Amino acid sequence: MNLEQFTALIRGNLIVSCQAGPDHPLRDSATIARLARAAVLGGAPAVRCGGVGGIDDVRAVADAVPVPVIGLTKRGTSGVFITPTVDDAVRVLESGATVVAADGTRRPRPDGATLSDTADAVHAAGGLLMADVATLADGVAAAEAGADLIATTLSGYTPDSPQQAGPDLALVAALAAELPSARIVAEGRYHHPEQVRAALDAGATAVVVGTAITDPVWITRSFVAATQH
């Protein structure tokens, strides 16, 4: 699937992220695949998966759903840890992903490679690259490095990005204005449908929602919190 085809599929739509941490009750690749199937039945034209489940989750989901998979791996919890190396990116593609999501910030990568190196490897293997960025400067640099999609995933998770409870709609708008021909994907703390609409109105090509859809622990805590007032 090329970039134009993928863009047509996701434009103005919702991508669902299906992930679970190491101690989560849903931490099982078969369970993640079932979450992905449910998301597709609900209308998601693509799913994002991998995380700590890595290659196993990507493979399980790619085998389970008829829609494109945005795959990633995670190594650690600090610095560049989302698909941090060129080798990780290629392995994600080999496991069935159409798009590789990788850290797209300007921080040094553990293998010493550049984001451009990752983009070249992904493209050579027939895939697309989604750069997870934290700031406008990150996004501009990622576009120059050859990323096919720019996602706001890491806003709020780096010292140079705003620390806030809700999504970074200002970053979505800034990226859309600065990079009018780029595919901007809004991601990060989108917990309500009206926030998804706001991101699309701000210029996002598509919006990724994970926790608020696929994490019953978080969802339950949100409802329990409402009983405490």
Please determine, for residue 229, whether its predicted confidence score (pLDDT) is greater than 90: no
- Token readout for 177 is 């204005």
Among the listed ranges 45-54, 74-83, 120-129, 146-155, which one has the minimum average pLDDT value?
74-83
Identify the pLDDT of residue 100: 98
d(CA 189, CA 29): 23
d(CA 167, CA 57): 26
Over residues 145-192, the pLDDT tens digits come to: 999 999 999 999 999 999 999 999 999 999 999 999 999 999 999 999
The H-assigned helical ranges of the chain are 3-10, 29-41, 54-64, 86-94, 115-124, 136-145, 169-178, 193-201, 211-214, 216-226
Q: Which of these, 183, 188, 185, lies nearest to 158 by C-alpha position? A: 188
> What contacts 221, CB < 8 A, 6 or more positions away?
none
Query: What average pLDDT does the structure give for the chain?
Result: 97
Over residues 107-118, the pLDDT tens digits come to: 999 999 999 999
Residue type, 128: L
Please, which residues bridge with residue 48 across strands?
A: 17, 70
| C-alpha neighbours within 13 Å on the C-beta side of residue 219 | 9
> What contacts 84, CB < 8 A, 6 or more positions away?
73, 75, 102, 103, 109, 110, 111
Please determine, for residue 136, whether its predicted confidence score (pLDDT) is greater than 80: yes
Please give the average per-residue pLDDT across 65-75, as a whole number: 97
d(CA 177, CA 174): 5
Please determine, for residue 77, whether its predicted confidence score (pLDDT) is greater than 80: yes
Q: What is the CA radius of gyration of the chain?
A: 16
Please give the average per-residue pLDDT across 188-198, as a whole number: 98
